[in-house]
Amino acid sequence: MNLNQQEPIIEIHGLTFRYPGATDDVLRDVSLTIARGDFIAIAGGNGSGKSTLCKCLNGLIPNYYVGDFSGSLLINGAPAHEQTVSSLSRQVAYVFQDFENQLVRPSVYDEACFAPLNYGYADYRERGERALQLLGLTHLRDKWIWELSGGQKHMVALAGALSLDPDVIVVDEPVAQLDPFHARLIYDKLRILNEVHGKTIIVIEHHTEFIAEYGNTMLLMDRGRIRWVKPVREALNAISELGELHIEPPQVTEAFHRLRERTTPTTQDSPASSRPLYPVTLAQAADWLDDLSLGKDRYQPDHSNSGDDVSSRDKQTHELPQEADSRSGRQPLVRFEQVTYGYKDMARTTAPVLRGVNLTLYEGDRIALIGNNGAGKSTLMRLISGIRKPQQGRVTVCGQITRAVSPEELSDDVAFIFQNPEEMFIEDSIRKDVEYFLKARRIPDYEAFIEDIMVRFRLKELEQRDGRLMSGGQQRRATLAIGLAMRPKIMLLDEPTASLDLASRREMTELLDRLQDRVQTVIVATHDMQLVADWANRVIVMHNGQVALDTDGRTVFECAPLLEQAGLIPPQIVRLSHMAGISPVCLTVEELVARLIERSCKEETAIGSC
Amino acid sequence: MEAVKPSFWDKLSVEQIKIELMRTAYGHANTFLSRFDPRVLVIWYAFFAIAPWFIFNKTVLLGMLALMVVLTYTSRVSTLVLVILAVGLVSDVGYMLFVSFFFGGSLDAIWSLSTLTLKLLVISLASIAVFASMDPEKFSDAMLSLGMPAQFSFGISYGYRMLPILIEEYNNLIYSYRLRGRTPRNKGLLKWRYLVYMGKITVIAFYPLILNTAKRTRTTVEALEVKGFTYAMTSSQAKKLKLAYLRIERHDYLFIAVSVLFVAALFTLGRIFPL
């Protein structure tokens, strides 16, 4: 971090750019200096010009995308417009958000060597090897790209960028398509590259939790302009300004902000500079908790406990979730009996994905299915939808044994929303896609019903558009509408909030909330722990092809060791309540604030303003 | 019938076909043929893919067939590929039998028509043996070395790299149709309605696949630019480095020599004992 004072590596003055054929400037009069060795996070809403700015750094703009370009751009002190994409790419590496399609070679090793080979480095093999080693990927060296998981693919893309030994590494939204656990792995590597190897790191990111923990400087963009560049902690304390641009500050910051607003109402009058900066990471929050004297002395970590111990302890201390008691009265909709399923791999051996799963899902369940990649979540959903049949055991859906009926017949009761929306757009307009199911069944007079759905999901203006050409949030809304138009009893959603920005994510949660009056049970496979906390009334943790835990949203986050084992990270607010020693844990910021005030009042602590 | 069908489809799932395909393409590092330089194999293959068309001597063709059978065996080809070949062969012979009897011919006609079958068999087995032993990477390098343009040889390896992804996406698209569609209530005689329904979605699922692929290409093209692919096409350095590992050694010459001798012997034999 002390490298910060060194000479600038990137200097931009008055940069304005417009894509060919576009009517508006994407970048307007951008001036920016990035110091060598900085770790800078670029945040901003969709269409604010983040990606475009980064594409200027490696020369794709204006050398590859020739548009209206003005202003000056110096990289390593040399003007960028006098250089080619190929010479700039060797200094500034770019990792695209879409990690699947930037990998162009069949094997991991080939991919890592590809760029240095193209640029004619005689030591291209060593360069590739070194990049793999730097990221701890040597064990994947001989794997084929299609055998890798999403997180591994992202790492390989980073290795490909590193192989040229660039000074600057630009990573476009590393978190968007990864679960938090794998996102952290990427960020940990970026931190090492930054601190140990002195690389300048630029990430496009709107998950402020990651910015807070890993970033050094934050840059806020708004409609093609730079609003400000500030040190991270100061930047994330600009809570109302971030809110305007639909960027949520970290939950800890939010919590202490609200706490302070409640307990010392005078703050609003005093200028922001006079108040101390709120914490932005959990580590900083610990000090604040100490100040509130609610802190560490009260916090008794029990990491030695295994998952089972914790859940049994929970049963003693809390009441059982109500759902468990009332289940007997409700209609079972899906039943898994000793279900086993496996996929064959390249060596023709069957890798088990589900191993003897027993599970019953009831009417009224809002189920979050969680677990790391490969834990069997998607397979479980595919078995319910009937597009996979169990190899052993039996799956019963709405009284039908799936083995005996076709997926078409099951789809009268089950709607399955795929993870990738593009795989659900089989017609050339959204309207036709939503109608498809009813049309295929020759159901008369469906227009009014469809109209209602289009309005409800705010798709009326978009209904003639091809689904592929819409934004991520619109695509998700459209797939949900397609599912609901099937009038299902059971709705399955695979990662409905993946790669969405926070505004679209919140919208999605609201829509899921409203599904309940139309659908009997909803099952969501997700990595989004905030969604689990906000929405689910039943949480099923999958681990190694088995159900590791089946409980409610609050209890699941008490089982820290089990979550850790399953590669899951609870929302920050849950971790904060752990730190504050609050049990049962809080699932929302509001809840935590209320609990903290309650406690500080009881104990008449230093705040003393209750 | 309904209960049995899914288990049959389970076995012949798209997943399975994908794995077999990738195994055939990349799976074998150590077969007899894989030891030779890919350029030698390409030239060797070119001979056995073209020459049979001009040979009408069954002795020669049978001799070639014997060679191909042995080589195919050493290449450990997947059963699926062989089954597909066998299905083609059986239907071919069956159709010739039918045609020849229909037009009042006798088994003699089959004997003369079988020349064509023999030719096809030699060529198909040669293709299977060579391409099962040589992964697309080596094939692409061989083509580059033999003077094909860089885009062409890159296309071969990139095509294979994308294949599993495309197959998976196609599979999911098919399921999109099936999970929202409706099988005909009345399946019809021999399920013909059902077969038409499946056939139709098999074809129309290609449209969304093509559109999705087209949309994703932007990232690929930018990535190629950044990774210096276009730069490499103008500098000879990259090509030289990339192909440096290709070397024709003594066993390659030996392989060519033995093959030439074998073919010469076959022709001599064919002249003495023509079938």
Tens digit of each residue's pLDDT (9 = 90 or more) over A499-528: 777 778 888 888 888 887 889 999 999 988
Fold category of A8-244 in CATH = Rossmann fold (3.40.50)
Nearest CA-CA distance, residue B74 and chain A, Å: 18
Contact A389 B208 (CB under 8 A): no
Residue of A86, A98, A422 lying closest to B219 (CB–CB): A98
Phi-psi region of A301 (alpha: psi -120 to 50; beta: other; left: phi over 0): beta
Which two structure tokens, joined as six digits, stand for A450? 């469809």
What pLDDT score does A91 carry?
93
Render pLDDT for A215-252 as a digit per residue (tens, 0 to 9): 999 999 999 999 999 999 999 999 989 988 888 899 99
**Residue scoring higher pLDDT (B1 or A530):** A530
Residue of A106, A407, A486 lying closest to B175 (CB–CB): A407
Measured over the CA atoms of residue A476, residue A477, residue A483 and residue A488, the dihedral's sign is positive
What pLDDT score does A65 carry?
85
Instruction: State the DSSP string of A152-221.
Output: HHHHHHHHHHHTT--SEEEEE-SSTTS-HHHHHHHHHHHHHHHHTT--EEEEE---HHHHHHH-SEEEEE
A266 pLDDT tier (thresholds 50, 70, 90): low
Q: Are A25 and A17 in contact (CB under 8 A)?
A: yes
Q: Tell me, what DSSP letter sits at residue A4?
A: G
- Helix pair A124-134, A150-162: axis angle to 10 deg: 130
Render pLDDT for A14-65 as a digit per residue (tens, 0 to 9): 999 998 888 889 999 999 999 999 999 999 877 788 989 999 998 888 888 8
Contact B180 A440 (CB under 8 A): yes
Q: Where are the beta strands (DSSP E) in B70-229?
A: none
Q: Which residue of A has its CA nearest to B17?
A: A344
Reference A610, options A386, A334, A292; nearest CA is A292
Phi-psi region of A470 (alpha: psi -120 to 50; beta: other; left: phi over 0): beta
| Candidate from A444-448, A552-556, B111-115 with smallest mean pLDDT | B111-115
Instruction: State the DSSP string of A259-286.
Output: HHHHH-GGGGTS-GGGSPPPP-SHHHHH
Q: Are strands A68-75 and A8-18 parallel, antiparallel or unpaired?
A: antiparallel
A310 pLDDT tier (thresholds 50, 70, 90): very low
> Which chain A residues are within 8 Å of B158, Cβ to Cβ?
104
> Which chain A residues are within 8 Å of B181, Cβ to Cβ?
408, 411, 436-437, 440
> Which chain B residues are within 8 Å of A102, Cβ to Cβ?
219-220, 222-223
| Measured distance CA(A382)–CA(A510) in Å, rounded | 25
Reference A434, options A376, A494, A477; nearest CA is A477
Nearest CA-CA distance, residue B4 and chain A, Å: 9
Residue of A110, A120, A408 lying closest to B241 (CB–CB): A120
Q: Are A154 and A182 in contact (CB under 8 A)?
A: yes
Backbone angles phi, psi at A588, to 5 degrees: -130, 160
Paired with A359 in beta bridges are: A336
Q: Are strands A392-397 and A546-551 parallel, antiparallel or unpaired?
A: unpaired
Q: Which residue of A has its CA nearest to B13?
A: A388
> Which chain B residues are within 8 Å of A439, Cβ to Cβ?
none
**Residue scoring higher pLDDT (B108 or A563):** A563
What pLDDT score does B8 carry?
47
For residue A51, give every residue at least 6 positions away whose Cβ sits within 8 Å of its Cβ, in sequence order, or none: A97, A172, A204
Match 């397979």 to its residue by tokens. Answer: A379
Maximum average pLDDT range among A311-325, A375-389, A555-569, B88-102: A375-389
Whole-number Cα distances in Å, A460 to A283, A465, A486, A514: 46, 10, 18, 19
Match 């798209």 to its residue by tokens. Answer: B14
Reference A449, options A466, A461, A437; nearest CA is A437
Contact B176 A468 (CB under 8 A): no
| Measured distance CA(B180)–CA(A65) in Å, rounded | 41
Contact A146 B164 (CB under 8 A): yes
Render pLDDT for A429-438 as a digit per residue (tens, 0 to 9): 999 999 999 9
Q: How far apart are the first and last CA of chain B?
A: 48
Contact A119 B220 (CB under 8 A): no
Chains A and B form CB pairs within 8 A to the count of 165
What kind and span of H or E run contains B136? Answer: helix B136-145
Domain ranges of chain A: 8-244, 250-292+576-610, 313-413+488-570, 429-483
Which two structure tokens, joined as six digits, stand for B121? 């068999």
Which two structure tokens, joined as six digits, stand for A241? 């300004």
What pLDDT score does B85 carry?
87
What does the mean pLDDT of chain A come to?
Answer: 86
| Measured distance CA(B124)–CA(B12) in Å, rounded | 23
What pLDDT score does A83 carry?
87
Tens digit of each residue's pLDDT, chain B (275 residues): 333 344 444 556 777 788 878 878 887 667 888 889 999 999 999 999 999 999 989 899 999 999 999 999 988 888 888 888 888 888 887 887 788 788 877 777 777 778 888 898 999 999 999 988 888 888 999 999 998 888 898 999 898 888 888 998 999 999 999 999 888 877 777 788 888 998 999 999 999 999 999 888 888 989 999 998 888 888 888 888 889 989 899 999 999 999 999 999 999 999 998 87
Domain ranges of chain B: 12-134+247-275, 137-244
Measured over the CA atoms of residue B80, residue B84, residue B89 and residue B90, the dihedral's sign is positive
Which two structure tokens, joined as six digits, stand for A382? 């595919």
Report percent pLDDT > 70 for chain A: 90
What pLDDT score does B216 carry?
85
**Residue scoring higher pLDDT (A308 or B123):** B123
Task: Please identify, in words, the CATH class of the domain defined by A313-413+488-570.
Answer: alpha beta
Backbone angles phi, psi at B173, to 5 degrees: -65, -40
pTM for this predicted structure: 0.85
What pLDDT score does A267 carry?
46
What pLDDT score does A328 carry?
60
| Measured distance CA(A248)–CA(A242) in Å, rounded | 7
A272 pLDDT tier (thresholds 50, 70, 90): low
Phi-psi region of A120 (alpha: psi -120 to 50; beta: other; left: phi over 0): left
| Measured distance CA(B260)–CA(B170) in Å, rounded | 45
Q: Are A533 and A574 in contact (CB under 8 A)?
A: yes
What pLDDT score does B5 carry?
42
Radius of gyration of chain B (CA): 23
| Candidate from A151-155, A257-261, A381-385, B90-94 with smallest mean pLDDT | B90-94
| Measured distance CA(A541)–CA(A532) in Å, rounded | 11
> Which chain B residues are within 8 Å of A426, Cβ to Cβ?
173, 176-177, 180, 204-205, 208
Render pLDDT for A192-211 as a digit per residue (tens, 0 to 9): 999 999 999 999 998 899 99
Contact A423 B169 (CB under 8 A): yes
What pLDDT score does A124 carry?
93
Q: Do domains A8-244 and A313-413+488-570 have the same CATH topology?
A: yes
Which of B77, B134, B191, B226 is most worth mutating to test chain A (most A CB atoms within 10 A of its CB)? B226
Residue of B19, B211, B224 lying closest to A344 (CB–CB): B19
Contact A104 B223 (CB under 8 A): yes
Report percent pLDDT > 90 for chain A: 51
Nearest CA-CA distance, residue B37 and chain A, Å: 19
| Measured distance CA(A503)–CA(A510) in Å, rounded | 11
Render pLDDT for A275-295 as a digit per residue (tens, 0 to 9): 788 999 999 998 888 877 544
Q: Tell me, what DSSP letter sits at residue A144?
A: B
Render pLDDT for A53-107 as a digit per residue (tens, 0 to 9): 999 998 888 888 888 999 999 999 899 888 888 889 999 999 998 888 899 998 9
* Count of beta carbons in the 10 Å neighbourhood of residue A484: 23
What pLDDT score does A214 carry?
96
Which two structure tokens, joined as six digits, stand for A352? 């088990």
> Which chain A residues are within 8 Å of B222, Cβ to Cβ?
55, 60, 64, 96, 102
**Does the ipTM surpass 0.85?**
no
Residue of B137, B180, B217 lying closest to A486 (CB–CB): B180
Q: Mean pLDDT over residues A306-334, rounded? A: 52
